[in-house]
Structures are given as C-alpha cells and as structure tokens.
Amino acid sequence: MQSRTPAPRATGRPRSAAAHSAILAATREALVELGWSKLTLGDVARRAGVAKTTLYRRWAGKNELVVDAVAELFDELELPDRGSLAADIEGVVLQFAAILDRPEARNGLMAVVAESTRDDALRERVRASIVDRQKRLVLTGRTRAQRRGELPPESGPEETARKIDLIFDMVAGAVVHRTLVSAEPADDEWAREFTRVLLLGLTGAED
C-alpha cells in the first residue's frame, strides 16, 4: 500500500469563511468600543465566539489583525461606470466618504495610522493591505478613461506607476482630510468641486 503524503494545510484564511468574517467584525467592534490600547486578542476571540488560538494561528498579533479588519472595509470600494471620468471619480469619492463615515472604519483607520508612525512593520502592512490594494481603482479608472478617449496613454510602465500613485494620494488624501481631520461632509457638491479641480487644475477653465 502506498503511503500518502498529507496535503499541505491551508494558511491564512480560516476554514470557515463565517468564522473569518466574525473575527474581523469583532475586531472592528472592539476598536469602536475599547480603542486601540485596550483591544486584546482575547476580547476579540470572545466576541467572535472562537478560541484564542484560532486568532494566533492566523495573525502574529494585534497589529496584523486590526489592519486586516480595516482593510476588509475598504475592499468594499468599487469604481462605478457612470459614463465619464468625472462622474466615475465623483462616484468613488462618495463611496469612500460613506465608508469613512462608519465608526468602525473611522476609528480603525485612525488607530492604525497613528500606531504606524512608530512601527515600520505596521506601516508596511498598512501600505500593502490597504493602500496598494485600493490603487486598483485608479488603474481601472485610467484604463477606462483612456478607452473612452478622455485621457492619453502613458509613455511606459514607470510613468503609469507614478501617475497611479499621484492620483491615489490626491483622492485618498483629500477625502480622508475632509472627513476625518476637518470633519466636514464630503457630499455631492464637494465631490463635484473636488473632481473639477482634480481634472482641470487650479488655473484650468472649463470649455
């Protein structure tokens, strides 16, 4: 009888998608109620109804767990096809602002950003799990606009990467500052004006 080599055990996501979602949801709930400093993996496990060892098998510690919990919220962002580049930008800006209006997103993002200022490894995880993942929206939007003839193609991959970074920084930075720092509404009127400035520049004039 031939011996069978055991199949490698899956890593990362728990076998139960429901358990995975419950853990991340419990993390966001704890962030809102307790804040970063008082949140513990034991409390998250209790809220999620799982063993504490389940968390330690998937996350090295609190930092990684909290970043993944926050990242899941921003994965809800989609770039709507509203027929024009301007309308597409307005749509994603309003979605982003709506997510940041949720206490679990607002508290979670502010917590990981604050902690990452003194933790280089955490900063890299925020960049990889949140920032880099959401740059897909900019790439999708530019490609769509280029197919419509609204934007010219770039000269090469390096220029594309630079522009993707710049556009993401401008959009994300403006919305985060507006909603979390200034605590002002990013409503339809603000989204339209921001998009106009983004596309035309400060001295640009509409046709």
Domains of the chain: 17-59 (1.10.10.60), 71-200 (1.10.357.10)
Q: What is the DSSP letter of 152?
A: P
The interaxial angle of helices 62-74 and 132-148, nearest 10 deg, is 20
pLDDT digits (tens, 9 = 90+) for 8-61: 333 444 457 888 999 999 999 999 899 888 999 999 999 999 999 989 888 988
Q: Which residue, 2, 3, 52, is CA-closest to 23?
A: 52
Average pLDDT, the chain: 87
pLDDT digits (tens, 9 = 90+) for 90-124: 999 999 999 999 998 988 888 888 889 998 999 99
Angle formed at CA 148 by CA 99 and CA 152, multiple of 5 degrees? 95
pTM of the model: 0.81
Q: Rounded to an integer, what distance in angstroms lies between the CA atom of residue 91 and that of residue 188?
A: 9
Report pLDDT for 79.
Answer: 87
Q: State both tokens at 52.
A: 């504490």
